Amino acid sequence: MKDTIKQLVEAYGPAGREEQVAKYLASVMEELVDKVYTDELGNVIAVKQGPANAKKVMLAAHMDEIGVIVTDIDDNGFLRFSNLGGVSPHTLIGQRVRFADGTVGVFGQEKLDNIKDLKLNKMYIDIGVTSREEANAKVSIGDAAVYHREFSQQGSRIVAKSLDNRISCAVLIEVAKRLKNSPHEVYLVFTAQEEVGLRGARTAAYTLDPDYGIAVDVTATGDTPEAPRMAVSLGKGAAIKVKDASVISHPLVKNLLVNTAQAHDIPYQMEVLEWGGTDAGSIHLTRSGIPTGAVSIPCRYIHTPSEMVDLGDVEHCVQLLVGVLEGPLP
């Protein structure tokens, strides 16, 4: 699983430009499921077929990552940019980004009297050129870039960019490997453009029209010094979502997850996230409504170049989802 995670987190795939990640995921899933295809919006949909009249369960993990997009190039070759998803300027100073062709740049900033005044429009990307012409040979207006960071493991903890949400993509791959005898029709969906509005999940759920939906994503923790109070910690198990800003988990799905965890002695935590959202926010509002919940992987430093998760929590998420898919549904 470690090699899969490394491949995923180091890949290039900002929101709306997920093709490299999608190609990798489709190739991996081909050997694990009955059918794999990519839809018009770029979602990768892997199907494990069930018996006749089986209930349909959609698991969704978004494959895009936050990034930046070039808006202007000045005479000296410095790039101005906007965000793709939730990017804080205070996490960018001195960090590196990588464009699709491998061009690497460094974030710089204009002089400020007060660092609290730092905004994205006061920053630029330096790709090491001296003119607009040199820059244009490497980068164009509208090109997107992602954080340039390597995968690192320290004991059971891993640190990397884009663990939000490539770690959940790795979970879905592992679920596909372990799932042997599900009585349900299972759709493992790697969604596009979650970071810019939960978009891929909306179109995929409309097409698939599942009986139940479960989003798989990361969630914040409350276990670091002076962190906001939140009853989620690294290393204490899978987080079962109660609510976030986009969804109140359907009681049927929430209770199914809790009961499965208890039945299989899988460590779990209850997640009440006061902000943010996941693909569950789109899935549950599709068509006439779909009972939807979410399983979350606790993650520190979300939306920074160095996110952190615990591999024990990852394993417990896999076990929980396999348990749900191999058991009866309400």
Distance from C-alpha of 162 to C-alpha of 242, rounded to nearest angstrom: 24
> Domain segments of the chain: what residues?
2-65+161-326, 67-147
pLDDT of 112: 87
Confidence label for 282 from pLDDT (cuts 50, 70 and 90): very high
The answer on pLDDT for 310 being more than 90 is: yes
Q: What angle do CA 96, 100, 105 make, to 5 degrees?
A: 25
**Ordered DSSP codes for 162-174:** THHHHHHHHHHHH
Distance from C-alpha of 15 to C-alpha of 293, rounded to nearest angstrom: 23
Taking the alpha carbons at both ends of the chain, their separation in whole angstroms is 31
Q: What is the pLDDT of residues 149-175, one digit of tens each?
A: 999 999 999 999 999 999 999 999 999
- Strands (DSSP E) contained in 282-326 are 292-298, 307-310
CATH topology of domain 67-147: Elongation Factor Tu (Ef-tu); domain 3 (2.40.30)
Return the closest-CA partner of residue 190 out of 21, 14, 308.
21
The answer on pLDDT for 1 being more than 90 is: no
pTM, full prediction: 0.96
Contact present, 45 and 204 (Cβ < 8 Å): yes
Q: What is the pLDDT of residues 30-42, one digit of tens each?
A: 999 999 999 999 9
Mean pLDDT of the residues in the chain: 96
10 among known catalytic residues = no
Q: What is the pLDDT of residues 246-270, one digit of tens each?
A: 999 999 999 999 999 999 999 999 9
**Ordered DSSP codes for 212-237:** EEEEEEEE--S-STTPPP-S--TTS-
pLDDT of 294: 98
The answer on pLDDT for 115 being more than 90 is: no
Of the listed 65, 174, 194, 271, which one is catalytic?
Answer: 194
Confidence label for 113 from pLDDT (cuts 50, 70 and 90): confident
**CATH for the 2-65+161-326 domain, from 3.40.50.10420, 3.40.50.300, 3.60.10.10, 3.40.630.10:** 3.40.630.10
